[in-house]
Structure 1
């Protein structure tokens, strides 16, 4: 008797829950009792199917969870209805940009595909070319490239660059004023009485890092303070690569009283290294970062930083891409947004020794 009950229960369960994880158009046709061509007409909103039949087919599609593949959709219409957001890696900076990108895409009729393509012999360089080769034309109709390393990739779809690391480009770009932002950071430290100010720089091959170092140098020179090359170390934008350079700056008898780091993640790592060496922030050392990612305000010593308008940058990049897809002319192809100083608890007047 028990076996009979189990069999009946199993049959009831299989009727309620489809056994196929990926339903096909054939499954839909069979379940709806219509031809495959009828299902195709309903999916593509073509004539020749009564509204009653179409509604029945749509109900079966919803029950089975059927979704035509992006590749098949592309072959039919040359469009996928999907936009790509291509990043080298998912980290706080790109995550904040994604919020603005997603908001701008709402109501556009497009879906977003966030894709990390940091692969290849040297994943730092040319990752966007490899990603575009995989996705363009078959999976996405257009793309936003976040911090691309190639100035003019060979692409077949509309593309917008966000914070391009390669500098000037023929494709539309959205970035922030790294040069002025760095000057703001150093001038603020100077206003607190600091004169021995170090810099934990970013990757020297990237345009944003070059501009931030140029702003650091320009602020010191404008104040009549010679730039000491021994106070500049390469932090590389990553906490793991910033540890040794930060220690080299701080574990010396003539250590600086302040450090300007090229981004927030390496600034936070600088504070951690300072604490490991017995230094207090900001009593013994002031630290300023760049970006204003959420970690900056949430760290145990809230970080003074230069804020990039990341949400607005993402929103403008998506709006620009949507205009390109509509065939509209861009009033401006290259937008640079202002940066601002956000003062928190990691900075204080220069300590007396």
Structure 2
């Protein structure tokens, strides 16, 4: 059979009506056990799958949890793996969805939710959403949310403590001129990493210097522009802390383009510990945030909410830790 099997194909092969197939597939009353077994065997043989939309119209549930992301970049991919692992032994399927940001660069979550909630998914996990004041007919959990008010349940890492540890580590190596490539200004994590950077400098008695701070927006091109400006300055930093690993890797690439050697001429620390951090040509010293655990915690929260429970706490912050590799050394 070249086309996708239909409910009528199953009915014909099993010798029953389409209504009987529907009852058997959905476990409803009124079908003899031996008939249901025959129908389910044919379903397995033909590879028939009922429509999620049709199922939701009948039962008001789909058994699907949606994960909404702006892009499938390393951070969201690792979070998604954590969600999948947490749901692997559950009765829920996972739907990863990334809507077009060209139509809605800010507030893409609302557009995605309006398309999916109520028909395709029973709960939602939003990863690095630009807004959290969204309404939907299903429970919602936000991972690494927007800087604004967050009435939704949230899961995030200790970005402030992690950034502070990163800069403390560089100061401990002897660096005093420490640059910073910041992240997305609209995210709470980015603001916290900025605050952690400044706190570590202040505690060490090092004045904050805005001339060695650039905004990378957690994106490669923006990070490249910031790195070029910082490293081409007459008094360039001897070390740079980047708000995510992708930006830190870009800093190292730009340093090599300018003839600088890492870590002899420049130390670099990132944040995330994505898989590429340890595989890069100069393995990256970074702050490890538990991205898989972020996803798993979000999955546990949304499942509890879907079951009508009131989990405590509903705002979860997970610890981070420094992972030392080859991209850092005392200043020359």
Supply the distance in 1 between the matched residues of 2:306 and 2:79 (Cα, whole angstroms).
20
Supply the distance in 2 between the matched residues of 1:203 and 1:51 (Cα, whole angstroms).
57
273, 295, 306: which one aligns with 1:292: 273
Alpha-carbon distance, 1:104 to partner: 1.0
1:148/1:166 contact within 8 Å kept: no
Alpha-carbon distance, 1:166 to partner: 3.0
Alpha-carbon distance, 1:122 to partner: 4.5
Alpha-carbon distance, 1:167 to partner: 4.3
Supply the distance in 1 between the matched residues of 2:44 and 2:185 (Cα, whole angstroms).
52
Match of 1:68 in 2: 50
TM-score, normalization by structure 2: 0.97
Supply the distance in 2 between the matched residues of 1:99 and 1:19 (Cα, whole angstroms).
33
Indicate whether 1:28 and 2:13 are aligned. Answer: no
Q: Which moved more, 1:56-65 or 1:327-336?
A: 56-65
1:174/1:313 contact within 8 Å kept: yes
220, 228, 235: which one aligns with 1:247: 228
Please state whether the residue corresponding to 1:49 is helix, strand or coil.
coil
104, 112, 128: which one aligns with 2:109: 128
Alpha-carbon distance, 1:101 to partner: 0.7
Please state whether the residue corresponding to 2:37 is helix, strand or coil.
helix
1:199-237 deviations in Å (ceiling 9; x for gaps): 111122322211111111111111111111100111111
Match of 2:122 in 1: 141
Supply the distance in 2 between the matched residues of 1:115 and 1:166 (Cα, whole angstroms).
23
2:286/2:322 contact within 8 Å kept: yes
Please state whether the residue corresponding to 2:150 is helix, strand or coil.
coil
Aligned length: 332
Please state whether the residue corresponding to 2:97 is helix, strand or coil.
strand
1:85-135 deviations in Å (ceiling 9; x for gaps): 111110110111112111111222010001112424452x21111111110
Match of 1:205 in 2: 186
1:227-262 deviations in Å (ceiling 9; x for gaps): 111001111111122112101110122111000101
Kindly report structure 1 stretches of 4+ aligned residues shifted beyond 3 Å.
none
Indicate whether 1:45 and 2:33 are aligned. Answer: no
Larger Rg: 1
74, 89, 95: which one aligns with 1:107: 89
Supply the distance in 2 between the matched residues of 1:92 and 1:51 (Cα, whole angstroms).
48
Indicate whether 1:19 and 2:2 are aligned. Answer: yes
Indicate whether 1:154 and 2:135 are aligned. Answer: yes
Match of 1:233 in 2: 214
Q: Note closer, same or farther for the CA distance 1:198–1:138 as it changes in structure 2 (3 Å cut).
A: same
Alpha-carbon distance, 1:55 to partner: 1.8
Alpha-carbon distance, 1:40 to partner: 1.4
Please state whether the residue corresponding to 1:55 is helix, strand or coil.
helix
2:68/2:126 contact within 8 Å kept: yes
1:177/1:339 contact within 8 Å kept: yes
Please state whether the residue corresponding to 1:341 is helix, strand or coil.
strand
Q: Which moved more, 1:253-262 or 1:33-42?
A: 33-42
Structure 2: any 5+ residue segments left out of the alignment?
Answer: none
1:170-209 counterparts in 2 under 5 A? 170-209=151-190
Match of 1:3 in 2: none
Supply the distance in 1 between the matched residues of 2:227 and 2:104 (Cα, whole angstroms).
25
Structure 1: any 5+ residue segments left out of the alignment?
Answer: 1-17
Supply the distance in 2 between the matched residues of 1:205 and 1:101 (Cα, whole angstroms).
24
Match of 2:203 in 1: 222
Please state whether the residue corresponding to 1:74 is helix, strand or coil.
helix
TM-score, normalization by structure 1: 0.91
1:312-327 counterparts in 2 under 5 A? 312-327=293-308
Please state whether the residue corresponding to 1:287 is helix, strand or coil.
strand
Supply the distance in 2 between the matched residues of 1:111 and 1:292 (Cα, whole angstroms).
28
